[in-house]
Structure formats: C-alpha cells, structure tokens
Structure 1
Amino acid sequence: MSLYLAIDAGGTKTVCCVADETRELARVSCGTVKLMRVSEAEATDRLTGLVTEAAAVAGVSLSDVTRTCMGIAGLSISAVRVWAENTLGKLVGGELLLCGDEVIALDAAFQGGPGILVIAGTGSNIVGRAADGTMYSAGGWGPAIGDEGSGFWIGHEGVKAVFWGLDRGVPTTMLKAIQEAWGADTIGDVVAAANVRPGPDFAALAPVVAWCAEEGDDLARAVLERAGDDLADQVALVRLKMEESGDPGTVGVAFVGSVLDRIETVRTSMVKSLAENGVNVTVKEVAEDSLDGALWRARMGLKC
C-alpha cells in the first residue's frame, strides 16, 4: 500500500493529511509555519508535531510514506525552500514535492488543467494557469504594497474609513467595533494602536468590518464592495494575459481563503464586477480546499 502525506502551509494555519491511494486516513492542523510570521525554530517545532500527530492518528510510520507534497507560500525565497526540505527530509521517507500555495490550490480546483485562482485570505494573489502550464499572476506583493481585497486590506481600509468619516461627520459603527476589538478606550488609543511598529494584525479586523456591513453600516459595506471590485480587476488582468498568449474561451475561476469563503459581499461584488465588464470567466460557487490539491499532486507524483 502506498502512503501519501499532503500539507497546506497557509498564513494562518497549517493542515496535514495522510492518505493511501483512495482514502484519507487522518487530518490534523496547527498554527502557521510561515517563516515570515514565526521564527524558524517555532515553525520547525510546529511542522514536526503536525506530521508526527498525523502519522499517529493514521496508525502509520512516517518512514513508510511514499511521497509528500507540501504547498507553502514564499517558496521562491531560498531560505523557505531549504528549511522545508531539511525539516521534512529528516522526518518523512519517500519523495518530497514542494509547491507554491497557489499551485496546490489550482490543483484542488482544476487538477493540473487551466484555470484562474483567487487567493483572498490574510493576503491576496491572483494566479492563472494556461492549457500549456504557463503561469500568469497579478497582485500578491504583500500588505505594504498591495494585497487588495485581502483580510489585511479590508481591516486596514476599515480603520481608514473610520477616520475618513470622522473628518467629514459621517457616522460609522466600525469605530466602536474596532475599539472593542483592540481594547481601545478612546479614539486616540485607536490611532496609537494603528500606528504602532510592528503594526497590528489588521486582518483580524476583517470580520469586524463584515459584521458592521451586515448591520447596515454604509462605510463598511463600501469597503467590502471595493475589495470585491479590486479582486475582479486582477482576475480580469490575468485573463487578459492568458488571452494574449493564445488561450481563448471561457476559463473557470476558483477561490480559496477566508475572505471569499466567508464574506458574501466581497464575493458577490467580485462576481458582479466580472460580469459587468464582460470578463470571459465562470466563477465556481464554493471555495476550494487546497489540501485536496496537495494530495492529488502527491498521488500523481507530478513535480511543481
């Protein structure tokens, strides 16, 4: 019996499963192992504990694993690749496949075929894969430069909208909600928290902005609608790149990440904007599970 290990190392959490040719035997999770967020020592401890737990739950030995596929952000950074290779190489037997997180998410939706993926979680990125395997992208430059439509962007824009409203006498429930989320007693406390270095976790405010929008706050809703519009603009750009390279026809669009999965206003705004601008795509209705893509690639043995 062949055994496969699949790992999805996201910005917020890391998920791992053990499977054979047809069945998933165990699935466990832990915090992020992203080196830009935690120390190398912490990432190593978490990943070691994760795969060890997965094997124990499945009742198998890590040395018997046929192939492992790990999807992780920042793989173009040599330190990330070296760390992943060294850490897993000491823990797991068999072949190791390392892929970008966008590759396993595309595989979850399209199993090696063409398509466009919208990643909108803590950060954001749009990637497209043509029929010949060529990859195209837009965005994904990090919160200091872009990440439009991401959880970080929504939280940051929500805070900015509060003070835009204060300057113009436009009330918003986001002020009180953000104060409660940050434990800030005064407006000055919010200003201080927003400007501290290193900066606050703006992504944690995305659900706060979403809640305010659901309660009828116009400024909050406008932030979410702009998030969807910005994501649609980047999808359209990737689709244009694919068309210019000779990849005509309607292309499927899949999505992963908490923003599009959980915040309906953002998803609706993105779909509406794509339709109004005549972008030749069809958007899937539910979010993909990136871990499924890592498992598919591990079973297939396809290098990234």
Structure 2
Amino acid sequence: MALYLAVDLGGTKTEYVLADETRELARVRGGTIKRMRTDEGTADQNFIQALAELEKKSGLSIRDVARSCVGAAGITVALVTDWVRKVFAEHVGGELILVGDVEIALDGAFFGGPGVLVMAGTGSNVAGRSSTGRLTTAGGYGPALGDQGSGARIGQQALRDIFIAIDEERETTLLPAILKLWDLPGIDELVGYANRIPSPDLTKLAPVVLACAEAGDAVAQQVLHREAEELAHLVRIVINRLRKDDPRPDWIPDLAFTGSILEHVAPVREGIVEELRRDTPALKVIPGMVDPLLGALWRARHG
C-alpha cells in the first residue's frame, strides 16, 4: 500500500492529509509552518507535532510515505522553500513535490483540467488554467498592493469608509461595532490604533463588517459590494486570457471558489457571480468551496 502526504501550507494554519491510493487515512490541522510568518523553532515544533498526530491517527509511519505534495504561497522565497525541503528530508519518506497554493487549489477544483478559481481569505488571488494547460493569475500581490476581496482588504476599506462617513456626517453602525471589538473609547483612539506600527490584524474586522451589512448598514454593504466588483474584475482578466488560448470561440471556463471570505461572506461571493453574469450569463459556477488539500493529494498521487 503506497502512502501519500498532502500539505496545504497557509499563513495562519497548515492542513495535512495522509492517504493511500483511494482513501484518506488521517487529517490534521496545525499551526503555520510558513517561515515568513513564524520563526524556525515554532515552525519545527508545529510540523513535528502535526506529523506525530498523523501517525497516531493512522497507525502508520510518515517515513513510509512514497510521495508528498506541499502547496504554499511564496514558493519563490528561499526562506520558505529551503526550510520545507530540509524538514521533509529529515522527517518524511519519499519524494517531495513543492508547488504554489494556486496550483493545488486549481487541482482541487478541476483535477488538472481547465477552469478559473477565485481565492479570498487573509489575502486573495485569481488563477486559471487553459485547456492547453497554461497557468495564468491576476492579483495576489499582498495587502499593500491588492488582495481585493480579502479579509485584510475588507477591514482596511471599512476603516477608510468609516472616516469618510464621519467627514460627511453620516451615521454607520460600523464605528461603534469596531470600537467595541478593539475595546477603544472613541474616534481619536481608533485613529491611533489603526495607524500603529505594526498595524493591527485587520482581518478580524471582516466578520464585523458582514454583521453590520446584514443588519442593513449602508457603509458596510458598500464595502462588500465594492470588494466583490474588484475581485470580479480580476476574474474577467483571467477569463479573457484563457479564452484567447482556446481554439473554441464560445468556450467559457467554469468558475470555482475557495477561502474563508468566499465561504462565509456571501455578499462578496454572490456579488462576484452577479457582476460576471452581466456580460457572461452562461458562466457556470461550481457549487460549494474547493478544498485545496484535495488538490495537493491529487498531485501527490499522480506525481
């Protein structure tokens, strides 16, 4: 029985699946092992602990793994890739496939075939694969340069729109909700807290924005609507590139979603589809959320 290890290496968590040719044998979620997000000692500890849990749940040795696939953002960064290769060589058997998180997410949706995937969680990205196998992406440049529709971007834009509303003397329930979340007494303290270095974790504001939008707050609704429009624009860019690469003039790639924002913030997900169907009414959307870990497992099994 051949064993395969799939790893989805995220900025805040890392997920693992140990499987054979047909079945998942154990699944574990652990702390991040991304070296841009944590120190080497913590990454080592998180990785070793996760492997121990996989062995305990499965009753099998990680040393017997035939092939692993790790999907991670930042695979062009030596700090990330060098550490991953080192610890896998030390603790895991078999060969290692190291690819971008975009690729395992696409494989989780389309299993090597064509399509477009929108990813939005802490950050965001849009990726597509043509029928000829060409990979193309848009966005994904980090919070300072983009990350449209992400948790960080929603939080940042909500803060900016709050202060536009203040200047325009409009009421918004976002202001008291964020003051309560951050335990701040007033506007002056919010200005100082939001501008501090290092900056606060703006992703924590996304659930607040959603709650206020669902309760009817116009400022919060506009934040989510605008982020959906901006992500939809990136999707259009990717779709247009893929269609140029396909011999069928009427071909439209299927669309899939993954990431915590697209799973839990329905106005962003639904807003993207609504915006795209204005000019592409035949667009097919795959229901539910893609599990990138299954893409990593598919690639580990197929090499």
Partner Cα separation in structure 2 for residue 246 and residue 57 of structure 1: 45
The one-letter amino acid paired with 1:106 is: L
What is the CA distance between 1:192 and its match in structure 2? 1.1
Q: Are 1:179 and 2:169 counterparts?
A: no
Q: Match of 1:232?
A: 232
Distance 1:241 1:182, change over 3 A: same
Q: How does 1:90-239 map to 2 (within 5 A)?
A: 90-239=90-239
The one-letter amino acid paired with 2:292 is: S
The one-letter amino acid paired with 1:265 is: P
Q: Match of 2:257?
A: 255
Q: Are 1:286 and 2:288 counterparts?
A: yes
Query: Where in structure 1 are there 5+ consecutive unaligned residues?
Result: none
Partner Cα separation in structure 1 for residue 244 and residue 252 of structure 2: 14
Counterpart of 2:136 in 1: which secondary structure?
Answer: strand
Moved more, 110-119 or 275-284: 275-284
The one-letter amino acid paired with 1:170 is: R
Q: Match of 2:58?
A: 58
Once the two structures are aligned, what percentage of the paired residues are identical? Answer: 45
Partner Cα separation in structure 2 for residue 288 and residue 114 of structure 1: 15
Query: Where in structure 2 are there 5+ consecutive unaligned residues?
Result: none
Contact 2:2–2:65 under 8 Å retained in 1 = yes
Q: Match of 1:26?
A: 26
Distance 1:280 1:233, change over 3 A: farther
Partner Cα separation in structure 2 for residue 292 and residue 29 of structure 1: 14
What is the CA distance between 1:92 and its match in structure 2? 0.3
What is the CA distance between 1:76 and its match in structure 2? 1.4
Moved more, 198-207 or 39-48: 39-48
What is the CA distance between 1:278 and its match in structure 2? 2.5
Partner Cα separation in structure 2 for residue 35 and residue 204 of structure 1: 22
Q: Match of 1:11?
A: 11
What is the CA distance between 1:78 and its match in structure 2? 2.1
What is the CA distance between 1:247 and its match in structure 2? 5.4
Q: Which runs of 4+ in 1 moved over 6 A?
A: none
Partner Cα separation in structure 1 for residue 182 and residue 203 of structure 2: 12
What is the CA distance between 1:130 and its match in structure 2? 1.1
The one-letter amino acid paired with 2:284 is: T
Contact 1:236–1:279 under 8 Å retained in 2 = no
The one-letter amino acid paired with 1:261 is: E
Partner Cα separation in structure 2 for residue 280 and residue 100 of structure 1: 30
Contact 1:74–1:80 under 8 Å retained in 2 = yes
Partner Cα separation in structure 2 for residue 247 and residue 43 of structure 1: 46
Partner Cα separation in structure 1 for residue 20 and residue 8 of structure 2: 17
Deviations 1:71-103 (A, max 9, x none): 111111122111111111111001111111111
Counterpart of 1:283 in 2: which secondary structure?
Answer: coil
Contact 1:232–1:273 under 8 Å retained in 2 = yes
Deviations 1:178-199 (A, max 9, x none): 1121121111111111101111
Q: Match of 1:270?
A: 272
Partner Cα separation in structure 2 for residue 60 and residue 95 of structure 1: 18
Partner Cα separation in structure 1 for residue 200 and residue 247 of structure 2: 42
Deviations 1:146-198 (A, max 9, x none): 11111100011111111111000111111111112112111111111110111
What is the CA distance between 1:143 and its match in structure 2? 0.2
Q: How does 1:292-303 map to 2 (within 5 A)?
A: 292-301=294-303
Partner Cα separation in structure 1 for residue 37 and residue 193 of structure 2: 19
Contact 1:130–1:247 under 8 Å retained in 2 = no
What is the CA distance between 1:279 and its match in structure 2? 7.2
Please give the TM-score of this superposition, normalised by the length of structure 2.
0.96
Partner Cα separation in structure 1 for residue 247 and residue 69 of structure 2: 28
Deviations 1:93-120 (A, max 9, x none): 0111111111111001100111111110
Contact 2:119–2:259 under 8 Å retained in 1 = yes
What is the CA distance between 1:208 and its match in structure 2? 0.8
Partner Cα separation in structure 1 for residue 76 and residue 55 of structure 2: 28
